[in-house]
Amino acid sequence: MTALRGSLLARAKEAGFDDIGIARADARGDLPERLQNWLALGRHGQMGWMEETSARRADPLTLWPEAKSVIMLAMNYGPESDPLEALERHDRAAISVYAQNRDYHDLVKKRLKQVARWLAETSGAAVKVFVDTAPVMEKPFAEAAGIGWQGKHTNLVSRKLGSWFFLGAIFTTLDLGADERHDDRCGDCRRCLDICPTKAFPAPYELDARRCISYLTIEHKGHIAREFRKPMGNRIYGCDDCLAVCPWNKFASRAHEEAFHAREELRAPLLRDLAQLDDAGFRTLFSGSPVKRIGRDRFVRNVAIAIGNSGEAALAEDARALLDDGSSLVRAMAVWALGELAPDDARRRASAALEREEDDAVREEWRYFAR
């Protein structure tokens, strides 16, 4: 078995993975209770699928009773520069590092299948592969497998890779033994907690997704509450603040996979250009990107908020252009953005807008300026 583990490590490296660890399928008996407590508090927000798949998500043996081992693999997607620098360019958008090129699911799953196929052919054991679209709690099992530990921001931290890596899992009926669980190395550090713009961490090691900018810009389907708009800044898809500030990033390096290198047009795109996207333009720009899944309307909703936060008077014209958008999500945030950049103009327009606007949420935004 030792020889097989050594060969497995070599195959994983050949397939482009940067770290690998093995946990027993029953290694995290604490997860069902932890997950249920989190769901009971409603901290998953609109992510109903978290609740619907909770039994399978918390226990690999519910997902696949025959599983004996969970092989966790990590693939580096480290950026070439500090993502926090993008937050200072107020006329431009900040897109999360992982979403600045191709959707990672396809590449990671393809590589997982290469390793899994080799393992099945070599050992005769059954295998199944999972990337994070499946109901698997990758981070706790990666911790159990020794790849890293869940930091105070609940994300996995690695002494080898810092914060920037994707996770994939191979379940197998083969008993491969287990690596030692990684210990917590956060110490007294609070950087990830203190930098969060929306205070999404009720306590260390706890996340309220409903307050997280990544959740708000990606998973939240409705209007974004006023309290979160200013803290969002120019973050239009995801947020890397708690990852980027981690001191363990001193061990991080730029991704070796070219598919994870930022496309130039997504590195720091102009808000003005993004605000002008129609559905076809959005689909073309984000073809093959994870951004595409939220759709044009939610995306431009986020862009409108960033425009309102820009402090750039010239972008008021772009907010005006969105006031008659076909999506109420966009119209509502366009009203707010105009009010931030040109409040007198918003007040002048309010009465007439209220007469013709039929959507309640958009009307509420206009009423703020009609008082």
- 123, 54: one domain: yes
Same domain, 30 and 107: yes
Query: 367 in a domain, yes or no?
Result: yes
Q: Are residues 274 and 255 in the same domain?
A: no
- The pLDDT of residue 52 is 85
User: Is 265 domain-assigned?
Assistant: no
Same domain, 294 and 354: yes
Predicted pLDDT at 32: 86
Tell me what pLDDT residue 146 has.
97
Same domain, 307 and 367: yes
Q: Is residue 140 part of a domain?
A: yes
- Domain end, chosen from 211, 235, 260, is at 260
128-147 residue pLDDT tens: 999 877 788 999 999 999 99
Residues 213-227, mean pLDDT to the nearest whole number: 97
Q: Per the structure block, which two tokens stand in for 60?
A: 């690999």
**304 in the same domain as 246:** no
Domain boundary among 226, 260, 294: 260
Quick one: 88 and 129 in the same domain?
Answer: yes
Supply the pLDDT for residue 371: 74
The reported pLDDT for the residue numbered 93 is 98
**Does residue 32 sit in helix, strand or coil?**
helix
Assess whether 219 and 98 both reside in one domain.
Answer: yes
Tell me whether residue 21 is in a domain.
yes
- Domain co-membership, 274 together with 163: no
Compute the average pLDDT of residues 301-326: 98
Answer with the residue of higher pLDDT: 132 or 13: 13
Q: Is 293 helix (H, G, I), strand (E, B) or coil?
A: helix
Same domain for 210 and 331, yes or no, is no
- Could you read off the pLDDT of 112-129 as tens digits, one per residue? 999 999 999 999 999 999
With CA atoms as reference, report the closest residue to 97 among 309, 312, 307, 260.
260
The answer to whether residue 58 scores a pLDDT higher than 90 is no
Active site residues: 132
Asked if residue 242 belongs to a domain, the reply is yes
Domain boundary among 208, 232, 260: 260
Q: What pLDDT does residue 248 have?
A: 97
Please state, in angstroms and as integers, the Cα–Cα distance from residue 75 to each residue in 15, 53, 72, 168, 254, following that order.
10, 26, 10, 8, 11
Calculate the alpha carbon distances from 111 to 16, 99, 253, 298 in Å.
Answer: 7, 19, 20, 31
Are 7 and 153 in a shared domain? yes
Residue 59: per-residue pLDDT:
87
Number of compact structural domains in the chain: 2
Confidence grade of residue 1 (pLDDT, cut at 50, 70, 90): low
pLDDT recorded at residue 56: 82
Residue 155 contacts residue 243 (beta carbons within 8 Å):
yes
Confidence of residue 3 (pLDDT cuts 50, 70, 90): confident
pLDDT at 12 over 80: yes
The per-residue pLDDT for 17 is 97
Q: pLDDT for 254-295, tens place per residue?
A: 999 999 999 999 999 999 999 999 999 999 999 999 999 999
DSSP annotation of 262: P
Q: Is residue 56 part of a domain?
A: yes
Average pLDDT, the chain: 95
Mean pLDDT of 152-164: 97
Residue 39: inside a domain, yes or no? yes
Residue 300: give the domain boundaries. Answer: 270-371
CATH of the domain at 123: 3.40.109
Residues 252 and 284 in one domain: no
What's the average model confidence in pLDDT over 295-324? 98
